[in-house]
Amino acid sequence: MDVQRIGVVGLGAMGAGIAQVATEAGFDVVGREVTADLGDAATARIGHFLTRKVEKGQRTEEERAAAMSRLTTTTDLSGLADCDLVVEAIVEELGAKRELFEELERVCRPDAVLATNTSALSVTEIAAATTSPERVVGMHFFNPAPLMPLVEVVRAELSSDDAVATALGVVERLGKVAVPCHDTPGFVVNRILIPLLNDCVRALDEARVTPEALDAAMTNGAGWPMGPCTLVDLVGIDVHVHASEALYEKLREPRMAPPPRLVAMRNAGLLGRKSGRGFYTYT
């Protein structure tokens, strides 16, 4: 399908990043948030990052203005009725996602492709909430979405070739790198990255080093662009713990289980950058 208009449901860090990338690539974008204030905050966030690009000479003021004019927000799901593709980026809870897909099926055109940005839930189980699972795929962006080139395009059990081809075509137009894969727990990257980050957190306690020292070890000794503690803070400790639990539930490998230290941090509201405190403190 020739996609012109993309809907993004949930404009948190991931959804706002996806909306930014889509509007920069020339798509019309409708973002849906539960309140107008959250929609405005996401628009301001996108505006800020595009302004930085203008200041750094990466975009012209006209390009920024054009990108912002292609972006609208709504609190009403039926605002997505004209979209050719909808990407869901709401909370990582199967029940909430299944409810949303049921509603999306009701409000969207029957030929629209419905994509989930889930990190570790089963796309097949999300698709099963609809009566048209063939049009459901995974489009898994990485955090921060505007900077990370990869999008995993996930074929669920009943995804049609057309839906997968549409998602792949959009990823190409976004200027990103697509890796098509099947719907297995954690897909490709999180299947590897989640247990690896869990190992890093366990090493923190076993080797009795500080987060700063562990980050220095992995950036200087393994060439990581950012250290594991910085990365978990960026991803969000709640998101990481949830992804670990989801993988552990499916695969039963001890390394997948979230380290107790991370669970305690999550329960204490130390969620990383978004809460102002995780391994590090943010102002």
Interface segment toward ligand CAA; rule CB under 6 A; list 79-87, 95-103, 225-233, 270-278: 225-233
> Considering CB under 6 A, how many residues would be counted as binding ligand CAA?
18
Please choose, out of 140-148, 162-170, 213-221, 275-283, the segment that lies near ligand CAA by the rule CB under 6 A: 140-148
Choice among 117, 119, 122, 198 that is catalytic: 119
Query: For the chain, how many residues are written?
Result: 283
Burial of 123: CB neighbours in 10 Å, binned 0-12, 13-18, 19+: buried
Query: Which CA distances in Å does 69 have to 43, 46, 59, 65, 163?
Result: 11, 12, 15, 6, 28
Is 69 designated active site?
A: no
Verify binding: residue 156, ligand CAA, rule CB under 6 A: no
- What angle (nearest 5°) sits at the alpha carbon of residue 71, between those of residues 68 and 74? 140
Q: Do residues 244 and 278 touch, judged by C-beta distance below 8 A?
A: no
Stretch that binds ligand CAA, among 122-130, 139-147, 257-265, 275-283 (CB under 6 A): 139-147
**Burial state string for 179-209 with b = 16 or more CB within 10 A and e = fewer than 16:** ebbebebbbbbbbebbbebbebbebbeeeee
71 binds ligand CAA (CB under 6 A): no
In whole angstroms, give the CA distance from residue 82 to residue 12: 22
Q: Which is nearer to ligand CAA, 137 or 231 (by Cβ)?
A: 231
Check if 190 is active-site.
yes
Within residues 11-70, the interface with ligand CAA by CB under 6 A covers: 17, 49, 52
Which of 136, 231, 256, 257 is in the footprint of ligand CAA by CB under 6 A?
Answer: 231
In the complex, what is the shortest distance from the CB of residue 168 to ligand CAA, in angstroms, rounded to a whole number? 19
Task: Please report whether residue 86 would count as binding ligand CAA according to CB under 6 A.
Answer: no
Q: Which of 152, 159, 198, 240 is catalytic?
A: 152
Tokens found for residue 271: 């969620």
Catalytic residues: 119, 140, 152, 190
Residues in touch with ligand CAA (CB under 6 A): 17, 49, 52, 119, 142-144, 146-148, 190, 193, 225-226, 231, 235, 239, 243
